[in-house]
Amino acid sequence: MKAVELKNGIYWVGAIDWAVRDFHGYVTPRGTTYNNYLIMDKEVTLLDTVKHNFSDITIKNIRSVTEPSKIRHLVINHIENDHATSIDKIMELAPNATIYITEKGKKGLDRFFDTTKWKFRIVKTGDTLNIGKNTLLFIETPMLHWPDSMMTYLKEEKILISQDAFGQHLASAVRFDDEFITCASMSELENAVIDYYANILMPFGQLIKAKIADIQKLNLEIDMIAPDHGIIWRTNPQKVLQMYLDMAGGKADLSVSIIYDTMWHGTEQMTLPIMQGIKDEGVDCKVIKLRATPMSIAIKEFWRTRGALIGTPTLNNIMYPSIAEFLTHLRGLRPKNRIVGAFGSYGWGGGAVKEVYEEVKKMGLETHEQGLQILYKPSFEDEAKCYDFGREFAKKVKEYHKNF
Ligand code: FEO
């Protein structure tokens, strides 16, 4: 692998991580990339680094263009470990480089490294750096993804280096959206954007809307959006901006996800007639069994659909552990604008369905009550109740969807 040119003298020098499947607990079935960018100008500038175990790769990629010792400026848009843990290796090779970073970024970096010998310039929104033909404009984006985060806009070439925002956990042999669409598809790329947003950025929807509005107010022409993960948007960068605005505004498909787990298949047997009821109401439906599905995919499907039904058996009077794990993940992501119901089988006193509703209400989500509980396994009559439950839920989802 070697550097890939984005535009005149601006190169991707990152690393492809084909093998990562557990990204701090977030399952990444497609792997990921750690993108960083090198600008060959009068003053050579590197934007971001990569995860520590890929430092040799980015250094090799930099060397395919220039000697790392020539780096004069190192811009750190985000200090999370997947981007910042090669800084020490870069600074060993370019000890005279100045690091450009936000105030919170510097505070964080001081916790991860001995920074006493490094030169810093603290930057805030509106600050610029001229490096020859190119001018860099810094834009703080706190909580996108961490408090330290910022983006860097390359004025002359109209490229937005957006760090985590607009990225995807998607390892690929190609770097650009048009190339990816040719060898895979646009829907696969969109799916990766939704997956990433749902699992990482869902809690920050309001901030995202506000920050995109701020960027729009700056009247920046954007020819290309180059995130720190996945594919670079050069054909239609407005597409991913609009996707983010839509998701932050509560957009979802008029469809239902049934997310369930089961002990002796009683709850599982309930899913089929429920699904049929939903389908017969003209609403699309996807069934996801936890423990057979990565958590991040279940979260993505919950986020993609307007309505979700959570199916859980009662175990020792409470909900099934995998369902509790799912709801814990979901609560942390602070979902909005979704309607949820619950169902499940029980053997003695029940209780899991009630507990699911309590959890969902704590999240402030709309609920469809009453839920449906069935003793042991559904009889023929119970299956009819399941069908009606699915149908009623689909009607409610259709009504609720009109609000958006
Ligand atoms: Fe890709 Fe927030 O780090």
Of 168, 394, 359, nearest to 281 (Cα)?
A: 394
pLDDT the model gives residue 104? 97
pLDDT digits (tens, 9 = 90+) for 203-260: 998 889 898 888 888 889 999 999 999 999 999 899 999 999 999 988 999 999 999 9
Angle (deg, nearest 10), helices 237-248 and 205-217: 140
3-state secondary structure of 384: helix
Tell me what pLDDT residue 115 has. Answer: 97
Q: Which amino acid is at 135?
A: T
pLDDT of residue 214: 87
What dihedral do alpha carbons 134, 140, 144, 148 form, nearest 10°?
Answer: 110
pLDDT tens-digit profile of 16-39? 999 999 998 888 999 999 999 999
Query: How many angstroms separate the alpha carbon of residue 164 from the centre of ligand 1?
Result: 5
Pairing between β-strand 37-39 and β-strand 10-12 as defined by DSSP bridges: antiparallel
What is the rounded distance in angstroms from the CA atom of residue 99 to the CA atom of residue 211?
24
Atom of ligand 1 nearest to the CA of 163: 1
**How does pLDDT run across 50-76, given as a tens digit for each residue?**
999 999 999 999 999 999 999 999 999
**pLDDT tens per residue, range 290-310:** 999 999 999 999 999 999 999
Burial annotation 115-151 (CB, 10 A radius, 16+ → b, else e): beebebeebeeebebebeebebbbbbbeebbbebbbb
The model carries a pTM of: 0.92
| Cα 141 to middle of ligand 1, angstroms | 13
Q: Note the pLDDT of residue 26.
A: 87
Distance (Å) of CA 86 to CA 120, 138, 245, 351:
17, 22, 32, 50
CA distance 121 to 127: 11
Task: Determine whether the shortest distance from the Cβ of 164 to ligand 1 is under 6 A.
Answer: yes
Ligand 1 atom 1: residue of nearest CA: 164
148 lines ligand 1 (CB under 6 A): no
Ligand 1 centroid, distance to 374 Cα (angstroms)? 43
Whether 1 shows a pLDDT value over 80: the answer reads no
> For residue 330, which of 306, 295, 357 has the smallest C-alpha distance?
295
User: In whole angstroms, how far apart are CA 240 and each of 123, 191, 222?
Assistant: 27, 12, 12
Work out which ligand 1 atom sits closest to the CA atom of 164: 1
Encoded tokens for 240? 């991913």
What percent of the chain shows pLDDT beyond 70?
Answer: 100
Residue 169 in contact with ligand 1 by CB distance below 6 A: no
pLDDT(272) > 90: yes
* Cα 208 from Cα 230, distance rounded (Å): 19
